[in-house]
A and B are shown apart, each in its own frame.
Chain A
Amino acid sequence: MTRISSMGIAVAVSVLLISIVAIAQQDQSPWLTNSVYGELAKAPKKAAARRNPLEADPEAAAAGAKLFAQHCAQCHGETAEGGKKGPSLRAPEVQQVAPGAIFWILTNGVVRRGMPVWSRLPDAQRWQLVSYIKSLGPGA
């Protein structure tokens, strides 16, 4: 009986904890404030200065669009217009920044604000994402 009740408690505590965390998450909407774009400015100069090696690749943006739909759209919106959890990537703050800074954010995430690191995607795929984001242009 001890074994049964202990297991029940363990399961119940797990479910309760996950629920509490889920509810708590709803109050986290830092992406909706403009200050979030300030994260782009935190990219080290050397990282921001990196050129996109796929700049001349005509398929890079299309491949990036596919990756965006798979990994980014759930937070940033299907057309990158922004969502509940992620800011618009069509904003001038993103469109005017150096490609290297976007690549740096993709690599490192903004963990404390809820954006995961995406270094699990190979460099080439992150540059493809940069190509797609840059191809959007403001309000495109």
Chain B
Amino acid sequence: MKRIHGCLIHLSLLAFAMILLVPFAPAQESPYFVTYDHYLEEPGNLELEYFSTFGTQRGAGNFIADWTEFEYGATAWWTTELYLDGQSTFHDSTIFTGVRWENRLRLLKTEHVINPVLYLEYEQISEADKIMKEVEGHDVESDHAVPNALARHDLDHELEFKLLLSSTRNGWNFAFNPLATKNLTGGHPWEFGYAIGTSRPLALKASAQPCNLCRENFIAGVEMYGGLGDRYSVGLADTSHYLAPVIAWNLPSDWTLRLSPGFGLNDNSHRFLLRWGLSREFSGFGERMARLLGGHE
């Protein structure tokens, strides 16, 4: 455990040292928490994101699950991302719950009516993970009622595949993400899930003057996500589903704030989730990193 903390501290120090060296870049981020559109990180930029989810829990303490994302635009068609997850359960404990490594690959060179992006993720997380970045298989609220002391020892190695389908027309974005996951430990079946979302800026034209509260800086929408069972029992039953309005505020000062109250749609779901997030994009991170490591300029 000491090695985990040491590793995280070193990684965090490296990230923050690099961040101090690079200029900020104003972002135009989507408001979704679970759904992905087809837009990738700009090449060479690093986006540092912190998210938190408060969830109500029947049969155990409510919880706050947090995760940090390091999202890097490797190329204009490839974004790679590292997640560090943790959670605090009321009347229980605060624990680190795992890491995820995500990759998104744009499949088509130009824009089309529907734009596909391939999503590949490797997760090494414990059963105590509660960030709910996706709902899959037969995920239900009671899964999160297990005490941390027990759940943290049940470690999953999981591969996750998503097809991100997204379209933007007249300012509206529509995105649909079917997903399939395979837990590599212990002969688990393939599990399935979905996320769907739509969003739009509150104003389509930009104002000529710099401003924080201009309507074009706000993007609002709604997303819905849930499980679709596993290979032996595909369907909407015996799993959980959520509906969540979402809003993002893209500040000219380079910060993006996101907020989303989420509501469980059936008895298997948490009744209420409150998500919020804060992110900042740093331009030229790749160049600085390459210079630091002796690459060409």
A14 close to B (CB within 8 Å) = yes
B280-297 contact mask (Cβ, 8 Å, vs A): 1 or 0? 000111110110010111
Stretch at the interface among B59-67, B75-83, B131-139, B256-264: B75-83
Please name 22 pairs of A and B residues whose Cβ atoms are closer than 8 Å in the assembled complex, sorted by A: A5-B3, A7-B98, A8-B4, A11-B11, A13-B101, A15-B82, A18-B74, A22-B285, A23-B290, A25-B74, A25-B286, A26-B296, A63-B205, A66-B206, A66-B208, A66-B210, A74-B284, A107-B111, A109-B76, A112-B76, A116-B43, A121-B28
| CB nearest neighbor in A for B283 | A74
With A19-B289, A59-B208, A74-B284 given, is the CB distance from A26 to B72 under 8 Å?
no
| CB nearest neighbor in A for B82 | A14
Given contacts A19-B290, A111-B77, 11 further A-B contacts (CB under 8 A): A3-B155, A4-B1, A4-B4, A11-B7, A59-B207, A109-B76, A112-B109, A114-B76, A116-B43, A128-B205, A128-B206
A51 close to B (CB within 8 Å) = no
Which residues in A have some Cβ–Cβ distance to B below 8 Å?
A: 3-8, 10-11, 13-15, 17-19, 21-23, 25-27, 59, 62-64, 66-67, 70-71, 74, 84-85, 107-117, 119-125, 128
Q: Is B74 a contact of A116 with CB atoms below 8 Å?
A: no
| CB nearest neighbor in B for A8 | B7
The secondary-structure label for the interface of chain A is: helix
Q: Is B99 a contact of A11 with CB atoms below 8 Å?
A: yes
Q: Is A125 a contact of B7 with CB atoms below 8 Å?
A: no
Shortest Cβ gap from A125 to chain B (Å): 5
**How many B residues, CB 8 Å from partner?**
61
Q: In the assembled complex, which residues on chain A have CB atoms less than 8 Å from the CB atom of B74?
A: 18, 21-22, 25
Q: Is B205 a contact of A108 with CB atoms below 8 Å?
A: no
Shortest Cβ gap from B152 to chain A (Å): 10
By Cβ-Cβ distance, the 3 closest A-B pairs, closest first, are A22-B286, A23-B295, A62-B208
With A22-B44, A27-B296, A71-B28 given, is the CB distance from A124 to B204 under 8 Å?
yes
Question: In the docked arrangement, what's the CA distance between A5 and B28, Å?
Answer: 37
Q: Is B286 a contact of A21 with CB atoms below 8 Å?
A: yes
Which residues in window 1-59 of B have CB below 8 A to A? Answer: 1, 3-4, 7, 11, 14, 23, 25-26, 28, 30, 37, 39-40, 42-44
| CB nearest neighbor in A for B102 | A14
Q: Is A63 a contact of B44 with CB atoms below 8 Å?
A: no
Q: In the assembled complex, which residues on chain A have CB atoms less than 8 Å from the CB atom of B147?
A: none
Q: In the assembled complex, which residues on chain A have CB atoms less than 8 Å from the CB atom of B122?
A: 10
Q: Is A19 a contact of B293 with CB atoms below 8 Å?
A: yes
| CB nearest neighbor in B for A74 | B283
With A22-B44, A25-B44 given, is the CB distance from A114 to B99 under 8 Å?
no
Shortest Cβ gap from B67 to chain A (Å): 15
| CB nearest neighbor in B for A61 | B208
Question: In the docked arrangement, what's the CA distance between A18 and B49, Å?
Answer: 17
Question: In the docked arrangement, what's the CA distance between A7 and B4, Å?
Answer: 8
Question: In the docked arrangement, what's the CA distance between A13 and B11, Å?
Answer: 12
With A6-B124, A23-B290, A25-B290 given, is the CB distance from A124 to B205 under 8 Å?
yes
Q: In the assembled complex, which residues on chain A have CB atoms less than 8 Å from the CB atom of B3?
A: 4-5, 8
B127 close to A (CB within 8 Å) = no
Question: In the docked arrangement, what's the CA distance between A113 and B207, Å?
Answer: 31
Q: In the assembled complex, which residues on chain B have CB atoms less than 8 Å from the CB atom of A124?
A: 204-206
Question: In the docked arrangement, what's the CA distance between A95 and B134, Å?
Answer: 46
Q: Is B204 a contact of A125 with CB atoms below 8 Å?
A: yes
Question: In the docked arrangement, what's the CA distance between A30 and B142, Å?
Answer: 54
Question: In the docked arrangement, what's the CA distance between A109 and B106, Å?
Answer: 12
Q: Which of A3, A22, A112, A125 contacts B205 (CB 8 A)?
A: A125
Q: Is B206 a contact of A21 with CB atoms below 8 Å?
A: no
Q: Is A125 a contact of B111 with CB atoms below 8 Å?
A: no
Q: In the assembled complex, which residues on chain B have CB atoms less than 8 Å from the CB atom of A112?
A: 76-77, 109
Question: In the docked arrangement, what's the CA distance between A87 and B231, Å?
Answer: 50
